[in-house]
Structure 1
Amino acid sequence: MKEIRTLEDVKKLNLEPQRLFYSASHEEIKTGATADIYFVKTMEILNHMGLARKEVVAEVFPRKSGIICGVEEVLNLLKDKDVEIYGLQEGESFSPKETIMRIKGPYEEFAIFETALLGILAHSSGWATAARECREAAGDKVMICFGARHVHPAVAPVMERAALIGGASNASCILAAKLLGKQPSGTVPHAAMLIAGDTISVARTYNEIMPPDSPRIILVDTFKDEVEESLAVAEALGRALEGIRLDTPSERGGVTKELVYEVRKRLDQKGYDYVKIFVSGGLTPDRIRELSEAGADAFGVGSYISGASPIDMTMDIKMVEGKPVAKRGRIPGIIENPRLKKLK
């Protein structure tokens, strides 16, 4: 598949008649198939005028503050292009309107990749920023991203990797964790208990067959009162039990600070003070703080991270052949940022 450079290339782009998924492949992204069509039209015009190779400096800035993520993908996107790239590094914070990336080189080298570049930074930074808010709320306690089920599978690993960059301790999505050299983290869903018909039998089997590095954390809200089931599981597994997970549905009031407090006290009273409390289900930074104060030790966060809005990113041409330029409303010339490092 060759790189798209002209409108004729667009017309000739043929897709497989029985495409399994509608997400773009790596090759389609690298060859410009996800670009907005007006960039192709722009290149047609500039090539006709003999201006496509003019050296430009383009800068990227965000509309609000956040945590930058997606830098490595941008570098991979432009890896084979004759451009210099300066930018913040993955995981650094940024302010509104701060220059977070600068690209220098012939315009035709990167013109059609503006759409993909901005999309990569916008969505990944949005997810990473939401994860950082959860990390700050959780302090030094475990916070795992459980958001893969809320997004298209093609971007699930992108989202959960961004969550890790933002501060999540781990991810449940297999591919996301593997991309950062980790083993995915997760417990057992209600499905196991419902099919087995009993929490204790599942807990015992889990303890028996799972490898030593798989934490013995058991879900305790499927059939009975959470306190009753927590104590029953603790009695069944003894010292092998590392934690219980509370995921009480909203129909039953959800996981409340009162519930966490009661479970903690009841476990302590029975000598199970070593058993940690893992909570999940509709968590936000405010709820994480509240449940943490009540005694929760670890948090599984899904929709707050996965549903985070992208952070709007804008790319402006600021120099053409060494001459400062800008559209109306913007200041001509590059905006200095000593935090930028040469990345390529």
Structure 2
Amino acid sequence: MTKTMNERTLQNMDEVAAYKVPPARRLFSANHDEIIRGLTTDIYFIRTRQLLRHLGLDRTMVTAEVFASRPGILAGVEEVKNLLTGLPVEVWAVPEGSDIKEKEVVMRIVGAYDDFGIYETALLGMLASSSGWATAARKCREAAGDYPMISFGARHVHPAVAPVMERAAIIGGADGASCILGAKLAGQEPRGTVPHAVMLIVGDTVEVARAYREAMPPDAPVIMLVDTFKDEAEEALRLAEALGNDLQGIRLDTPSERGGVTPALVQEVKARLRQAGYPQVKIFVSGGITPERIIQLIAAGADSFGVGSYISRAPAIDMTMDIKEINGRPVAKRGRIPGLTGTTRMHRVL
């Protein structure tokens, strides 16, 4: 007989003690099955399950509410819904991508506690991390206005969560993401240029650009790095002269050792391209981009941005789950108001 969702999870402390990490395991990140089994939960939720079963209270009907610690953009709702799909619970939530306030209830779960309590750790983490990343992306979106802004943050986080981060960035307002799976999860195709590695291996920026034009799909935009070998303005002009109208943009990613990408550098490259008859060449900037720098660089003439660590290092928006009703009776821990919180923002998602 096929096990139910509840039966597939860890049942008691004996099962926790019996679990051994397979010696052949290659990576440390939890896979989907391990998350669903409850192996990423805090141990006290297994203790709670065992205690409630011992007392015959495991089927107690409760309503739990999740609220946010600070304002931001809500993300992670779809993943929580997917985690809880198949359980006999109702889930209500504020729509993903919504602005949320401090202490606002963003999700409500109704069901027998034993059916979903084991997932408190996982669902709070999903909402907290994704909302933090989405909030940082929204700040960049607001700074960029109508200028394109792509998330480049995958290299700054563990690969197991990189797609989650990139998807959250798109929910927050990024136009796209470089991480393949992250973009695909958001219903998009990944976006990005080429790295310095190919420039260094080939040895010449123009040769790489010509090969790119020949080898890549026809719809792939030709946007080339210009800071690998020569002065950025000089390299930009070399590319423009070699490719003409086929060159759609140049990317400035000057390292901090050389002063990074400054507004003055953007102004100079822009002016030299214009003076040489290539005003159509756009300037894409990456490397240490923040909302404040986006505003400065737009004023200097930048056309689009790749944002990495500002999004990836964003602090999570801590989420808390409280039981607010037991068998229809209002309850709360000391310091909180018993009963359901009044809200008109949530709709049923499961």
The bucket for the TM-score relative to the shorter chain is: over 0.9
Residue among 168, 173, 192 paired with 1:167: 173
Per-residue CA deviation, residues 41-71 of structure 1 (Å, 9 max, x unaligned), is 1111111111111111100001101111111
CA shift for structure 1 position 181: 2.4
Distance 1:210 1:100 in 2: 44
- Residue 70 (structure 1) aligns with: 76
Secondary structure, counterpart of 1:279 in structure 2: strand
Give the TM-score normalised by the residue count of structure 1: 0.98
Runs of 4+ in 1 over 6 A off after TM superposition: none
Of the structure 1 ranges 97-106 and 40-49, higher mean CA displacement relative to structure 2 is found in 40-49
- Residue 10 (structure 1) aligns with: 16
CA shift for structure 1 position 12: 2.3
Of the structure 1 ranges 12-21 and 297-306, higher mean CA displacement relative to structure 2 is found in 12-21
The one-letter code sitting in structure 1 at the alignment partner of 2:61 is E
Per-residue CA deviation, residues 70-112 of structure 1 (Å, 9 max, x unaligned), is 1111011111111111111111110000000001111111111
Residue among 300, 309, 312 paired with 1:306: 312
Q: List alignment gaps of at least 5 residues for structure 2.
A: 1-6
Secondary structure, counterpart of 2:8 in structure 1: coil
Secondary structure, counterpart of 2:120 in structure 1: helix
Alignment of 1:1-344 (within 5 A): 2-344=8-350
Per-residue CA deviation, residues 216-269 of structure 1 (Å, 9 max, x unaligned), is 001001111111111110011000000000000001110001111111111111
Distance 1:248 1:81 in 2: 51
Per-residue CA deviation, residues 181-219 of structure 1 (Å, 9 max, x unaligned), is 221111111111111111111111111221111110010
Of the structure 1 ranges 300-309 and 179-188, higher mean CA displacement relative to structure 2 is found in 179-188
CA shift for structure 1 position 275: 0.5
Distance 2:185 2:44 in 1: 34
CA shift for structure 1 position 2: 2.9
Distance 1:242 1:327 in 2: 59
The one-letter code sitting in structure 2 at the alignment partner of 1:93 is D
The one-letter code sitting in structure 1 at the alignment partner of 2:253 is D
CA shift for structure 1 position 180: 2.1
Distance 1:268 1:283 in 2: 25
The one-letter code sitting in structure 2 at the alignment partner of 1:247 is D
Secondary structure, counterpart of 1:128 in structure 2: helix
Count of residue correspondences:
344
Q: List alignment gaps of at least 5 residues for structure 1.
A: none
The one-letter code sitting in structure 2 at the alignment partner of 1:263 is V
Distance 1:87 1:181 in 2: 22
CA shift for structure 1 position 6: 0.8
CA shift for structure 1 position 135: 0.8
Distance 1:230 1:134 in 2: 26
The one-letter code sitting in structure 1 at the alignment partner of 2:57 is L
Of the structure 1 ranges 317-326 and 9-18, higher mean CA displacement relative to structure 2 is found in 9-18
Per-residue CA deviation, residues 293-326 of structure 1 (Å, 9 max, x unaligned), is 1111100000001111111000001111111111
Distance 1:148 1:160 in 2: 7
Distance 1:299 1:114 in 2: 37
Of the structure 1 ranges 202-211 and 104-113, higher mean CA displacement relative to structure 2 is found in 202-211
